[in-house]
Structure 1
Amino acid sequence: MTSPQTVLITGCSSGMGREAALALHRLGHRVHATARRPESLADLAAQGIATSALDVTDERSMADAVAAVEAEHGHVDVLVNNAAYGLHLPVESATPEEVRAQFDTNVFGLVRMAQLVLPGMRRAGRGRIVNISSMAGRFSPPGGAFYHASKHAVEAISDSLRLEVAPFGVEVVVVQPGPTITGFGATAVGTMHGGPADDRTDPYGAFRRELADMYANRAFTRRGGAVPAETATRVIVRAVTAPRPRARYAIGTLARGTMLAKRLLPDAAFDALMRRSFPLPKAV
């Protein structure tokens, strides 16, 4: 993909979505950066990037955003499904509403966006869907069941979709970041509900505190193995622009190493690795 492309990106208010929008714009592509709160995109608009509201949990919002891009350009050349957040709670502690909200954003919104752009891509005989998954799609640690399950789903959906749409000239690419130095860690901590943990009433209280501390202060740092946002951005740009893209792009040594360990180690050995790497609840 060397000529300018029309690229629609979800979740551009911060992090990798924002950086990818800027990088692709600098390369001359027609970028449409979107977010639930369009005011968070004011600085992108000031640099000449087209911006609009898009909430991946709202059908009308998604349909309107795609229709607006198609009205201007005919079809979306590249969809980057980036909008997501991480719910990090013990399985027993999460409410049904929290679990549904996690899948509404990370899975069902991604699917619906693909469904909305595919008719235009099929008419054009070309297109590319880049799904931002995660190393989380290949393993699941304590406290990460629902976020990691959502990324497992993204991996499975992408595999099926890649085969289904290839005859129409449409490519599907998965990007698998490991920990990246963005605001994701703080967002993850923000999803650990319930206020201050009370060990007298919450059997997971100390675990939640330790998990929040790990995500806030260690996991998303260079010492924790996280890669700079610029590194992740370069890989996303490659996934968007490569003439012959790979099916998957892993980002970072930690991501590649962890996914390799999950594939090669017996379950008992990988569980032992998780116990050494993550806090665990303590029985009293």
Structure 2
Amino acid sequence: MKKVIVITGASSGMGKETAKKLIGEGHIVYTLARRVEQMEDLKNLGGHPIKMDISNEEEVTKAVQTIIEKEGRIDVLWNNAGFGLYGSVEDVPLEEARKQMEVNVFGLALMTQKVVPFMRKQKSGLIINTSSVGGKVYFPMGAWYHASKHAVEGLSDCLRLELKPFGINVVILEPGFIATEFGSVLLNNFEKISKDSAYSEMMNAIISNTKKTEAEGSNSQPTVIADAVSKIIKTKNPKTRYSVGKMAKPLIFLRNLVGDKMYDKMVTSQLK
């Protein structure tokens, strides 16, 4: 069945690959992102790109209104926009930390607030919120990113209960290590931090591990996320969570299995 699908953060990586798959499956797909020029290929495939900053309420409102005016409904909202901010709590300026929360948490909430009234009216809908394996586990230098994804987990659980009476499903997507721009963003963040940082040794170990992983090409391809999202959309009664991609399920299983101190030791052992 053809559905009207809205994807935020669709200019690259998981969002773009999934948009391609869903367009190919015959759905009406609206792709929203700041870098609209990077979605020209999606337009050529039959998609509907819209330039939108997830942290700008006026732009979000306008985008949703445009879709409703053209289609009359929104069947699926995939809140996928987000980025990773890395650096120690001591080093990262709070202005940057607020931006992390503004995009990863409040942007997701804003988009949801604008779409839900239409889903309630049609008494149906599916909202997929992109969390991360980082919403269940943690690593040093990622405090603000992990905080944002832990927040998405909690927000989504509450939202699921609130919207269930209206026939709206809420699903949490927890990607593992996916071959996207994430690694380069992490490295760029570290470059902004002074080389005299008290945490430079730890940062260098993380930089080395990140570069090694990217060089080996051992991360899962974004297509695994595209397949998962397609499956979720087709499922009448989807699960509440989908852990997808390299190390997603093993890391979450491990975190649930061992206590805090044991997990801390296992993580720090990888930074030597």
1:101 to 91, 99, 102: 99
Q: Which moved more, 1:35-44 or 1:117-126?
A: 35-44
Aligned-pair Cα RMSD in Å: 1.5
2:47 to 43, 46, 49: 49
Q: Which moved more, 1:114-123 or 1:234-243?
A: 234-243
Q: Which moved more, 1:182-191 or 1:52-61?
A: 182-191
Instruction: Give the 3-state SS of the residue equivalent to 1:181 in structure 2.
Output: coil
Q: What's the counterpart of residue 282 of structure 1? A: none
Q: What's the counterpart of residue 259 of structure 2? A: 266
How many angstroms apart in 2 are the aligned matches of 1:263 and 1:233? 27
Is contact 1:8–1:76 with CA below 8 Å preserved after alignment? yes
Is contact 1:141–1:278 with CA below 8 Å preserved after alignment? no
TM alignment of 1:1-284, pairs within 5 A:
3-194=1-192, 197-198=194-195, 201-218=196-213, 221-223=216-218, 226-252=219-245, 254-278=247-271
Q: CA deviation at 1:253?
A: 5.1
Is contact 1:54–1:65 with CA below 8 Å preserved after alignment? yes
How many angstroms apart in 2 are the aligned matches of 1:132 and 1:221? 26
Is contact 1:180–1:220 with CA below 8 Å preserved after alignment? no
Deviation sequence 1:105-145 (CA, Å, 0-9, x none): 10000011111000000000000100011100001111111
Deviation sequence 1:11-42 (CA, Å, 0-9, x none): 01110000010000000000001111211111
How many angstroms apart in 1 are the aligned matches of 2:271 and 2:153? 23
Instruction: Give the 3-state SS of the residue equivalent to 2:190 in structure 1.
Output: coil
Specify every segment of 5 or more residues in structure 2 that has no aligned partner in the other structure, as ranges: none
Q: Which moved more, 1:244-253 or 1:154-163?
A: 244-253
Is contact 2:178–2:246 with CA below 8 Å preserved after alignment? no
How many angstroms apart in 1 are the aligned matches of 2:121 and 2:221? 38
Is contact 2:8–2:78 with CA below 8 Å preserved after alignment? yes
Which runs of structure 1 show a deviation greater than 3 angstroms over 4 or more consecutive aligned residues?
Answer: 219-223
How many angstroms apart in 1 are the aligned matches of 2:41 and 2:217? 27
Q: What TM-score does the superposition give when structure 2 sets the normalisation length?
A: 0.95
Is contact 1:32–1:51 with CA below 8 Å preserved after alignment? yes
Q: CA deviation at 1:209?
A: 3.0
- State how many pairs are aligned: 272
Q: What TM-score does the superposition give when structure 1 sets the normalisation length?
A: 0.91
How many angstroms apart in 2 are the aligned matches of 1:29 and 1:278? 45
Is contact 1:8–1:31 with CA below 8 Å preserved after alignment? yes
Specify every segment of 5 or more residues in structure 1 that has no aligned partner in the other structure, as ranges: 280-284
Is contact 1:178–1:254 with CA below 8 Å preserved after alignment? yes
Q: Which moved more, 1:32-41 or 1:202-211?
A: 202-211
Instruction: Give the 3-state SS of the residue equivalent to 2:242 in structure 1.
Output: strand
Instruction: Give the 3-state SS of the residue equivalent to 2:247 in structure 1.
Output: helix
Tell me which amino acid in the other structure corresponds to 2:43.
A
Tell me which amino acid in the other structure corresponds to 1:209.
N
How many angstroms apart in 2 are the aligned matches of 1:216 and 1:78? 36
Is contact 2:91–2:197 with CA below 8 Å preserved after alignment? no
Instruction: Give the 3-state SS of the residue equivalent to 2:32 in structure 1.
Output: strand
Tell me which amino acid in the other structure corresponds to 1:216.
K
Is contact 1:181–1:220 with CA below 8 Å preserved after alignment? no
Q: Which moved more, 1:209-218 or 1:232-241?
A: 209-218
Describe the shift of the 1:255–1:12 C-alpha distance in structure 2 as closer, same or farther (beyond 3 A).
same
Tell me which amino acid in the other structure corresponds to 1:154.
V
